[in-house]
Amino acid sequence: MLSLHSAVAAAQNEVHFFDWESHFEKGLPWYLSQMPYAFPDQLTVEKTPAYFTSSKVPKRIHQMNPDIKLLLILRDPTERVLSDYTQVFYNRLQKHKRYQPIESVLVKDGEINLGYKALNRSLYYVHMQNWLKYFPLKNIHVVDGDELIRDPFPEMKKVERFLKLESQINASNFYFNKTKGFYCLRDHGRERCLHDSKGRAHPHVAPAILQKLYQFFHEPNKKFFELVGRTFNWK
């Protein structure tokens, strides 16, 4: 969505420079070589979601540029866990591999399975505390991922303001794709939708297990809201 803006040059792929040792040891020249060409008046953006949950990344980014602007897209953590499982489920299905039913992954001996990695990745306050050791909150903009799906335009205006970009992105750049069930982009007559892996239906989860998830995240969510000084409409 940011690539709709003429003052943004966005890297095509997840770079994984700061979290993968095999990339990090190649040094900053290699990192720069992964970036798109940009004019002096453009901002260069890369996205690697794994940076947020990697404990060594904030310090490494700070050493490169302590004034960097950081964008963080977060969804309701329960939705994120289900989304994580859905992606793994479809990947295994495509490779004709066995998969575990979601109930057996989420619950162990009648309680939430704390060993499930997707749960730990969704304890946002734990990771955010680490980032706030290195960066002031004013350098981090949290994008409401659920709102971004529901109505992307207002969220993108907030991102423009945070990055101090000239107002360019318009409501006409977005249209709702009924087949996919979410918004796609329209830019100078060119239409683009997110990858097919996005927007897949989540598996059905028994209400009792969902309730356990909501309860599990209740306190961690409160801690996150306190850290960032705002609340989100999470269940």
Residue type, 147: E
Per residue in 108-159, pLDDT tens? 988 899 999 999 999 999 999 999 999 999 999 999 999 999 999 999 999 9
Nearest by Cα to 130 from 72, 64, 61, 55: 55
Cβ atoms of 219 and 227 closer than 8 Å: no
In this prediction, residue 104 has a pLDDT band, given cuts at 50, 70 and 90, of confident
**Exposure string (b/e) for 57-66, b if CB count within 10 Å is 16 or more?**
bbeebeeeee
| CA angle centred on 49, ends 217 and 107, rounded to 5° | 35
Average pLDDT over residues 9-21: 96
Look at 93 and 117; give whichever has higher pLDDT.
117
Provide the whole-model pTM: 0.91
**How confident is the model at residue 196, as a pLDDT?**
66
pLDDT score, position 86: 85
Provide, rounded to the nearest whole percent, the portion of the chain with pLDDT above 90. Answer: 75
Contact 113, 107 (CB under 8 A): yes
Average pLDDT value for the chain: 93
Query: Each residue of 180-234: pLDDT tens digit?
Result: 788 999 998 889 887 666 666 777 888 998 999 999 999 999 999 999 999 999 9
pLDDT of residue 199: 65
Q: Which two tokens stand for residue 160?
A: 């423009």
Residue with tokens 């003429």: 6
Q: What is the mean predicted confidence (pLDDT) over 160-185? A: 93
Q: Which residue has the higher pLDDT, 35 or 177?
A: 35
